[in-house]
């Protein structure tokens, strides 16, 4: 379980530490094991900052962040991050990119290759093992990023707008791929998005954040059965939750 209590984060605006921007203020929430949480809020509300704090990539100023009762003090093997910009090694082929995390953990080379090959097939890229990232489309690169995150078998996937830079068609295909993978793996997922459709389609709950300084305005249950297909987008429940999110986001933007 991810537990966040009284979390606040301020960024200094000058080199001497004077002045500052309060990005997050007094945030409280929990993510249950095997739960898929989507996070949405106005631009600049601190969504990415929150995710990076949970990942252990940046420190926080007040409060506590724990995973299964243990304080987060830095990155850990139980967490993996999927970024919007793919963050692949441009000089390395897909096999090397996917197996990299296993290699730095000391996994035997043959096991690294076997695991990477299996995951490359799982995300639909069999036959592209020796390609470089520049030889792949954006959607294919993001599949590599997902395979790389899954390779280390994390308990928790932290996803920072992973489909945000993709065209709508590719985005929808990868949403379906992610749902299918989640049904098989049942990882705990925290997924940042700007898309209301995506937030409702993927999540068990949607965490709605306020404008900066980011706070949790509401946790919204998504009463849609799993496994999910595109048919749910036509349901009254889907449309009602999406409209509720829009009303809240619009009100926050207009002040």
**pLDDT at site 255:** 65
Question: For the segment 140-176, what is each residue's pLDDT rounded down to a tens digit?
Answer: 998 898 899 888 889 999 999 988 878 888 889 889 9
The answer to whether residues 39 and 207 touch, using CB atoms and an 8 Å cutoff, is yes
Cis amide bond preceding 2, omega within 30: no
**HSE (side-chain half, CA atoms, 13 Å) at 34:** 4
| pLDDT over 80 at 18, yes or no | no
Cβ atoms of 129 and 120 closer than 8 Å: yes
CA dihedral of residues 182, 185, 187, 190 (deg, nearest 10): -20
Q: What is the pLDDT of residue 128?
A: 95
Q: pLDDT for 190-248, tens place per residue?
A: 999 999 999 999 999 999 999 999 999 999 999 999 999 899 999 999 999 999 999 99
Label residue 13 by pLDDT band (50, 70, 90): confident
CA distance 159 to 193: 9
Q: How far, in Å, CA of 194 to CA of 131, rounded? A: 31
pLDDT of 227 reads 92
SS3 76: coil
C-alpha to C-alpha distance for 114 and 183, rounded to whole angstroms:
22
How high is the pLDDT of residue 14?
A: 67
Q: How far apart are CA 199 and CA 49, in angstroms?
A: 18
Q: For residue 34, what pLDDT is reported?
A: 96
- Give the model's pLDDT for residue 152: 87
Domain boundaries, the chain: 88-153
Please tell me the least confidently modeled range out of 5-9, 33-37, 85-89: 85-89
Model pTM? Answer: 0.91
Residue 20 Cα to chain centre, angstroms: 27
């Amino acid at each position: 379980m991810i537990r966040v209590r009284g979390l606040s984060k301020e960024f200094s605006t000058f080199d001497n530490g004077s002045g500052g921007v309060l990005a997050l203020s007094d945030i409280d929430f929990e993510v249950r094991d095997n739960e898929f949480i989507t996070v949405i809020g106005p631009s600049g509300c601190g969504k990415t900052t929150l995710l990076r704090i949970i990942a252990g990539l940046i420190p926080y100023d007040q409060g506590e962040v724990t995973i299964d009762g243990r304080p987060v003090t830095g990155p850990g093997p139980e967490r993996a991050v999927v970024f919007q910009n793919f963050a692949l090694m441009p000089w390395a082929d897909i096999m090397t990119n996917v197996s990299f995390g296993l290699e730095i953990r000391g996994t035997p080379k043959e096991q690294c290759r076997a695991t990477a090959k299996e995951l490359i097939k799982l995300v639909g890229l069999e036959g592209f093992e020796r390609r470089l990232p520049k030889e792949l489309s954006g959607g294919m690169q993001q599949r590599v990023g997902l395979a790389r995150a899954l390779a280390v078998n994390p308990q928790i996937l932290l996803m920072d707008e992973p489909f945000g830079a993709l065209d709508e068609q590719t985005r929808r295909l990868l949403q379906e791929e992610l749902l299918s993978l989640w049904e098989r793996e049942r990882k705990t997922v925290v997924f940042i998005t700007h898309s209301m459709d995506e937030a409702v389609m993927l999540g068990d709950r949607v965490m709605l954040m306020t404008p900066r300084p980011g706070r949790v305005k509401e946790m919204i249950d998504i009463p849609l059965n799993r496994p999910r297909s595109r048919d749910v987008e036509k349901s009254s429940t889907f449309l009602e939750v999406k409209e509720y999110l829009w009303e809240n986001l619009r009100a926050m933007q207009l002040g």
